[in-house]
Amino acid sequence: MKIAVLDDYQNCVRSLTCYSKLIGQDVTVFNDTVKSVNELAQRLRDFEAIVLTRQRTNISNELLHLLPNLKLISQTGKAGSHIDLNACKNLGITVMEGDGSGEATAELNMLLILAALRNFTFEVNRMKEGKWQGTVGRKLSGKTLGVYGYGKIGKQICQLGQAFGANILVWGRQSSLNKAQADGFNVAASRQAFFSSCDILSIQLRLTPDTKHDIKAEDLSLMKKDSLLVNASRAELIESGALENALLSGRPGFAAVDVYEDEPVMDANHPLLKLNNCLCSPHLGFVEQDNYESYYGIAFDNILKFISNR
């Protein structure tokens, strides 16, 4: 089968143990990213199967109609709004998905929280400049750690935060609140109470048409002046431009983000990169060796199942 693996930024897919599953197939791995429909159509028109690396490439109705040979899209992780599933159905293109543990992303959230609270990157860079201590950081223990969304990763962050001595507060849909309470975690009395009482707020929502731009400027304006907002889920969960403006106005006082509306970010002109009160990382949440083996391994297994009509 002629297979394209897209958006392998680190040129690492061929080095994964699970890559051997595709021995005997005609595989091309692309390390760069193209975004326009015409560029994608030209690149992918001969392929029968596409392996998508999370949501890095948008598979639109227009693009699908320009790929006459495409039979299968094998998604690493869950298929989302980046794939036009109705168009796939109408064109007879099979979409297969898998899932991961979420542990790597939960750990990355904790890394961002601790690094931001302790001014870690700032202090490391000062030391490289020949300077010594320049700030006084804060601990996580005793702080109110708010988790917006209580899915698989949200639950893990609650558990990790609790282990660090944080006071956990959950907000989300009623079903999420019910699950959180059943697991022994406190839930906020209201949306307003949640945003106004968190010392640290971690966003853990899936991006869907219902959750896009769910968090508004008025929500952020309720946050404390010394609070920290962490977003390692999806940038589009926050209203466009709202976080930058909120940081400039001082509520929240700091942010740590791992996701951006237009990725990859290949220059230093992104507005968040210019703010001293924002810690930015290049979407590293799921980028971890064991996680890659799991995600790509399932995606490759799904291709083999498709080929053998299973």
Instruction: Just list the catalytic residues.
Output: 234, 263, 283
Q: 72 near 23, Cβ under 8 Å? A: no
Q: 89 near 235, Cβ under 8 Å? A: no
Phi-psi region of 133 (alpha: psi -120 to 50; beta: other; left: phi over 0): beta
Integer Cα distance of 65 and 14 in angstroms: 29
| Alpha carbon separation from 245 to 115, 134, 248 (Å, rounded) | 22, 27, 5
Beta strands in 67-113, from DSSP E residues, in sequence order? 72-75, 94-96
- Give Cβ neighbours of residue 289 (< 8 Å, ≥ 6 apart): none
- Give Cβ neighbours of residue 181 (< 8 Å, ≥ 6 apart): 187
Beta strands in the chain, from DSSP E residues, in sequence order? 2-5, 26-29, 49-52, 72-75, 94-96, 144-148, 167-171, 186-187, 200-203, 228-231, 254-257, 278-280
Q: What token pair was written down for 197?
A: 């009482």
Instruction: Please name the residue ranges forming H helices in 92-171.
Output: 103-117, 120-128, 152-163
Buried b (16+ CB within 10 A) or exposed e, 245-263: ebbeeebbebbbbbbbeeb
